[in-house]
């Protein structure tokens, strides 16, 4: 396979912007929402490694009020430097459609994906892989899932690992690795005839240095 520049996609709610309380009207309109500190600096760090900032893919529905709210937030929060083309902001309407989009993108090149709830991806992926009639083509390139640093991130990663381990009878295999004093779980899903490699990386709080580390990690699995 020819080398194609690795790409980074990012979730939006809980990843680029912080959700308000469920009772807060801002959470219903999705605007204005507070940007997460260091997010833009993180993207700069990723970009400095040579990884392409591909865009945002959100579970927000593809309707005008949501498209407008997302576009306004991107402009207001200074993210237009990274997401300045219409095709870079993708509204998919559900977790299933969002993650199918990511899987489809990984057919072309190695993908880095930012998200705050990795277990949502696990449920979609494992469900697709174990359906009697399989609608999912196994991607050819690895995916590095960067889990946003928050108070439940480790819990969600462990849920993902548990989901995968429960499916080992279906030909899936899970490995875990540790890096220094920080837990860095690398989760690999393997099928018997074709392989899908999903690496899960807990992130430090957003910063340019964290972005550089994540960009290098994407390049490492793309090598």
Per the CB < 8 A criterion, the answer to whether 83 and 89 are in contact is: yes
In this structure, is residue 54 part of a structural domain?
A: yes
In this structure, is residue 155 part of a structural domain?
A: yes
In this structure, is residue 2 part of a structural domain?
A: no
pLDDT tens digit sequence for 150-178: 989 888 888 887 777 776 555 556 666 65
In this structure, is residue 50 part of a structural domain?
A: yes
In this structure, is residue 32 part of a structural domain?
A: yes
209: domain CATH number is: 3.40.50
The confidence band for 9, taking pLDDT boundaries of 50, 70 and 90, is: very high
Q: What's the pTM?
A: 0.88
pLDDT tens digit sequence for 184-217: 455 555 543 355 678 888 899 999 999 999 999 9
> Quick one: CA torsion of 128, 134, 136, 139, rounded to 10 degrees?
100
Predicted pLDDT of residue 193: 37
d(CA 175, CA 187): 5
pLDDT tens digit sequence for 76-128: 999 999 999 999 999 999 999 999 899 889 889 999 999 999 988 877 776 66
Structural domains in the chain (count)? 1
**Of all residues in the chain, what percent are helix, strand and coil, respectively (each to 5)?**
40, 20, 45
In this structure, is residue 1 part of a structural domain?
A: no
The boundaries of the domain holding residue 212 are 7-222
In this structure, is residue 37 part of a structural domain?
A: yes
Residue 180 reports pLDDT greater than 60: no
In this structure, is residue 165 part of a structural domain?
A: yes
Per the CB < 8 A criterion, the answer to whether 110 and 9 are in contact is: no
């Amino acid at each position: 396979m020819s080398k194609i520049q690795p790409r980074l996609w990012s979730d939006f709610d809980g990843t680029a912007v912080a959700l308000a309380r469920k009772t807060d009207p801002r959470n219903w309109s999705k605007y204005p929402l507070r940007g997460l500190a260091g997010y833009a600096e993180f993207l700069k760090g990723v970009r400095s490694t040579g990884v392409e900032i591909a865009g945002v893919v959100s579970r927000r529905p593809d309707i005008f009020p949501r498209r407008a709210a997302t576009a306004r937030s991107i402009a207001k929060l200074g993210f237009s430097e990274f997401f300045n083309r219409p095709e870079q902001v993708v509204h998919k309407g559900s977790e299933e459609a969002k993650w199918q989009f990511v899987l489809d993108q990984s057919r072309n090149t190695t993908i880095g994906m930012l998200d705050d709830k990795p277990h949502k991806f696990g449920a979609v992926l494992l469900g697709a892989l174990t359906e009697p009639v399989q609608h999912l083509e196994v991607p050819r390139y690895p995916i590095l899932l960067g889990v946003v640093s928050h108070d439940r991130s480790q819990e969600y990663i462990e849920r993902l690992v548990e989901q995968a381990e429960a499916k080992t009878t279906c030909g899936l295999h899970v490995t875990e690795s540790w890096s220094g004093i920080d837990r860095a779980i690398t989760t690999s899903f393997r099928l018997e005839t074709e392989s899908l490699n999903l690496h899960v990386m807990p992130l430090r709080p957003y910063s340019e240095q964290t972005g550089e580390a994540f960009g290098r990690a994407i390049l490492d699995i793309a090598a």
